[in-house]
Structures are given as structure tokens and as C-alpha cells.
Structure 1
Amino acid sequence: MTDREDSAGRRHPATRAKPRHKVSVVGVIGELLVTAGVLVLLFIGWQTWWQSSVLAAQQNSAAAQQSKKFLDEAKDAPTPTPTPVATPTNTAGGTKTIDYGPPPVMKAPGAAQPFAVIYVPRFGADWKRTIRETVDVESVLNSYDAGVGHYPGTAMPGEVGNFAIAAHDTGYGNTFIDVSKLQVGDAIYIQTKDGYYTYRFRNLEYIPPTAIQVLYSVPQVKGAQASDRYITMTTCNPPYHAQERIAAFGLFESWQPPSAGPPAAIASEVGGG
């Protein structure tokens, strides 16, 4: 490399070209991993928030349609309102209820068939979901028109024993993401073609994924003969992870037939509200 002269005859050192950086295999792999990580985070964000918010709206709409179907069936085949057998009594939730006698219990439906709508005011004034038979991931828990599945072999709504259901906490509608926010005495309403079943939340428990004892007839008590009507709601925990499960337990409070109308707390949501 030689020096250069300017117009006045002065010589200047030649400018050396900057050496080119060598591209290393490790560097390329690192950049690819960073890019892949960003894409994964974007996908998780899309699945958790955007996709789930869209799916939640669809599940809510499907539940409204199912609720209306129950009301239409009641109009086509009206059932008389049972005569109350007791005067109103104060409940744990601070409300008054009328005893319409033993609640009717339906037969278990076929796999993936819708049979109930669940309302939990603590999850939002307009929150509702369809309950289908089985907890199959693809046909029930991930579906746009359900979101909540019923554990086969556990009790049906109003039946003595444990009515056990499950749903995702995050993704596919974020159905049970607020289970941990339940407070003692919170109402859990189940609407079926036979009427409305009210349960009251009692307590939460954090359990490993293998803890099937929460599905026993008397939750957590193996071999016990149930004399009460329970509800158990299960989901993954903590949110965005699945290392463990959270189980919410409740106890049956009352039942009322379609002809008596829905409980006041959900009256505006029943039938498509």
C-alpha cells in the first residue's frame, strides 16, 4: 500500500481499509436463538391475551345461547313451581332462599355434550360459560363454545356427592384465571334445563397435578359416603404455568325451578344478557 500525493505535492499516508468482521457460527446461532425467543414471547402474548380475549367472548356468547335454549325449552314444556316446604331462611351469603324441595338430578350426558351454564359473579358481572361432559382438551377445554368440562363419574348438578369441573386458567379463554380471587360465601350458579342450582364457595387448596382425591365423592376423603352436595372447580396454577393445580370447593345451598325465574344476581345475564 503506497502513500498518496495531494495537488500541492504533499504526501499523505494511505488510508488502510477496515478489516471485515468474520462471521462466526456461534454468533449466527446466538442471533437465531434471540430471534426465536422473541417470536416465542410474541406467540405466548398472542395466545394468552389476544387469542384468549377473542375466545372468551365467543365462549361467553355460546353460553348465552345455551342459556336461552334452556329458557325456550322451559316455555315449550312448562313445569309447575313446586310449593315451598319451608319459610325463607338466612344463608351464609346473607340472602334469603326458599326451599323448593330436593333438586332434580339429570342423567350424565354423552361425551362433549353441553348440559349446563355456569355463572360466577366474582369473575365478572357478565361472565358465563357452557359446561360440557368430559374434560377432553380438544373437544371441550380448548373449544370456542364451551371452556368448562365436567369430570365423568362425578356428581351432576344438585346430586349428592361432588360435582367436579375443570377449565384452563390461561389461554383458550382464560376461563378460570380468577379462581384464586374467590372469597368465602361467593355464589356459583349452575343453570340447566331443570332450573338453577346455587353453590357457595368455601375454600381453596393448592395441589399437585396427580391429586385425584379432590374428585372423591367427599373431596379429599377417600371412601367416604357423601351426604352433602359439593362443587369442585380445578385449574392449573400459577397463571401461565402448570406446575401445580388449584382446587376451589363449594357447598350446595339451594335450587329453584325455571318457573321461579333465575336468582336475582344473574337475572340480567340469563337467556343472552
Structure 2
Amino acid sequence: MRSAAGSLSPWARRRHLFVRGVGEVFITVGVLALLLVVYQVFYTNFEAGRRQDAIRDDLRDSWVQPVSAGAPIKGDAIGLIYIERLGRKWEKPLVEGVELKQLARGVGHFPRSAQPGQVGNFAVAGHRATQGEPFAYLDRLRAGDRVVVETRTRWFVYTIDPQPGAKPGDRAYKLVDPSYGEVVLPVPEQPGVKPTERRITLVTCNPRWGSSTRLILYGTLTTSYPKPGPLPPELAYTTS
């Protein structure tokens, strides 16, 4: 019994083979694209999660050792950050630097901004998609939410500020152009002004799977606690 392809004319047979070949190429490209998506969305998150857990554990171990001299270098872990709104188990290492290599290790600290608890603007950034995506749901934060930063010697509690003129329940974040670097100034968005408050700025890409804008949240230091000592009441949720 002759196949349908065998009954075709030479020209039609060539066209049939060409169409089938193009179809197979599209299928192959589609499979490769799917594998790339799986790698970006799942595998990088899995690997980043393991890496960040190890960084957190190493940092805690280092805190029981004698203090080492010198300023942190890019990639060094400088603390831990907790945000209840992002999950009861949400706890990420803070690392020095905001380049891609550092952001794959946790939440990055802008090197020229203030250190945790200092007068000025303690500015940090994190991925919103892939590489552990610590700030995937940063847009959920509301005015009054707490951001707790743990260092070797203290706990610092920042409270998210409302946007000017905001009503209760309004979003606390603002969107800016990616080139708008004034958000990480010592006094955010006020060039040349000397800081008098202890502030925090959280930065991530927007929308979640794009980067056409930057999502920004501001906060102010409201309290701090010395270490060693009891767990701050703002972190009581982590033990319940």
C-alpha cells in the first residue's frame, strides 16, 4: 500500500519534507525555550535558596568568633533581614553589593549607602524573579509593616513609611525610572541635604517579570535592641 507521501509529485514531496522539517525545528526550539524557562524559574531559585541558606549559617557561625577588622568587601554577608509580610519563614542574608553576582547570594546592600542603623539611608535591593527572588512580593508591603535587620551586635527595626497623602490601605510603594538613582541618596530624592534620620530604602524591578520601572519602598528606624539578648518582639511570629 503506497503512503500518502509516496503518491505526491516530486515538487509536492519536497514541499512536504520542507514543511515537516520546519515543524520539527519549531518543536525543538519550543522545547529548548521551555527548558530555559524551567531553568530560570525553578533551578536558579533552588540553587540560590541552598546558597543563601549556607551563607546565613556561615554568618551566624562567624558571629561567635572574634570580630575581624576592615570594611566589608563585595559579596561579604553583613547581616540578615526579616520581613513578616513576605512570610513567617522569610529570612534572607544581606550581602555587600548590588551587582548580579551579589544579588544571587541574597539581598544586596548599596555600598555607598549607610550601614544598618546608621544615620542616613540604608539602601538595599533584591531580585523579584529568579535567583531566589527574595523581593518577588515586595509590592505587598503596607505602611506600618516592619523590616528587621540583624547584625553581629544589634537588631534594627524599620517601619515602612506611607506615601505622601496616602489613605489607610493605599499602597506604600512608588514606581520610578530605572535611571532615577536619587532614591539611594543619604536623604532619598533630596540631593545635597544632610541626613538626620536613620532610613531604609528597598529597591526591586517592576513588573515582576520585567524591568521597565523600579519599585521603591521607604522606611524609618523606629527601635533597636542590643545583642546578646532576647528575640525582639517584632520577630515573635517566627517562633509561634
Q: TM (normalized to structure 1)?
A: 0.72
**Which amino acid in the other structure matches residue 141 of structure 1?**
L
Is the aligned partner of 1:177 residue 2:136?
yes
**Which amino acid in the other structure matches residue 228 of structure 2?**
S
Q: Please list every run of 5 or more consecutive structure 1 residues that lacks an aligned counterpart in the other structure.
A: 1-16, 78-105
- Alignment counterpart, residue 241 of structure 1, candidates 188, 198, 210: 210
| Alpha-carbon spacing, 1:37–1:224, altered in 2? closer, same or farther (3 Å) | farther
Conservation of the 8 A alpha-carbon contact between 2:153 and 2:228: no
2: CA distance, partners of 1:54 / 1:269: 24
2: CA distance, partners of 1:66 / 1:267: 21
Deviation at 1:69, TM superposition (A): 3.8
- Alignment counterpart, residue 252 of structure 1, candidates 203, 221, 231: 221
1: CA distance, partners of 2:198 / 2:19: 62
Deviation at 1:183, TM superposition (A): 1.3
Deviation at 1:122, TM superposition (A): 1.2
Deviation at 1:55, TM superposition (A): 2.3
Where do 1:165-204 residues align within 5 Å?
A: 165-202=124-161, 203-204=172-173
Conservation of the 8 A alpha-carbon contact between 2:45 and 2:133: yes
**Which amino acid in the other structure matches residue 210 of structure 1?**
S
Deviation at 1:225, TM superposition (A): 1.5
Root-mean-square deviation over aligned CA pairs? 2.8
Where do 1:143-162 residues align within 5 Å?
A: 146-162=105-121
Aligned length: 221
Conservation of the 8 A alpha-carbon contact between 2:199 and 2:218: yes
Of 55-64 and 174-183, deviating more is 55-64
**Which amino acid in the other structure matches residue 41 of structure 2?**
T
Deviation at 1:233, TM superposition (A): 1.0
Is the aligned partner of 1:63 residue 2:25?
no
Deviations 1:10-51 (A, max 9, x none): xxxxxxx62163246576446424531342133113321343
What is the match of residue 163 of structure 1? 122
**Which amino acid in the other structure matches residue 18 of structure 1?**
S
1: CA distance, partners of 2:145 / 2:205: 21
Report the structure number with the largest CA radius of gyration. 1
**Which amino acid in the other structure matches residue 167 of structure 1?**
G
SS in 2 for 1:22: helix
Conservation of the 8 A alpha-carbon contact between 2:202 and 2:218: yes
- Alignment counterpart, residue 36 of structure 1, candidates 29, 36, 42: 29
1: CA distance, partners of 2:237 / 2:61: 12
- Alignment counterpart, residue 231 of structure 1, candidates 200, 213, 218: 200
Conservation of the 8 A alpha-carbon contact between 1:232 and 1:250: yes
| Identical-pair percentage | 27
Conservation of the 8 A alpha-carbon contact between 1:196 and 1:263: yes
Where do 1:121-160 residues align within 5 Å?
A: 121-138=84-101, 140-142=102-104, 146-160=105-119
Conservation of the 8 A alpha-carbon contact between 2:97 and 2:103: no
Deviation at 1:150, TM superposition (A): 0.8
What is the match of residue 177 of structure 2? 208
Where do 1:77-116 residues align within 5 Å?
A: 108-116=71-79
1: CA distance, partners of 2:219 / 2:46: 27
Conservation of the 8 A alpha-carbon contact between 1:67 and 1:117: no
| Alpha-carbon spacing, 1:141–1:22, altered in 2? closer, same or farther (3 Å) | same
Return the structure number with greater relative CO, CA threshold 8 A, min gap 6. Answer: 1
What is the match of residue 86 of structure 1? none
1: CA distance, partners of 2:107 / 2:32: 30
**Which amino acid in the other structure matches residue 153 of structure 1?**
R
Q: TM (normalized to structure 2)?
A: 0.81
Q: Please list every run of 5 or more consecutive structure 2 residues that lacks an aligned counterpart in the other structure.
A: 1-5, 162-171
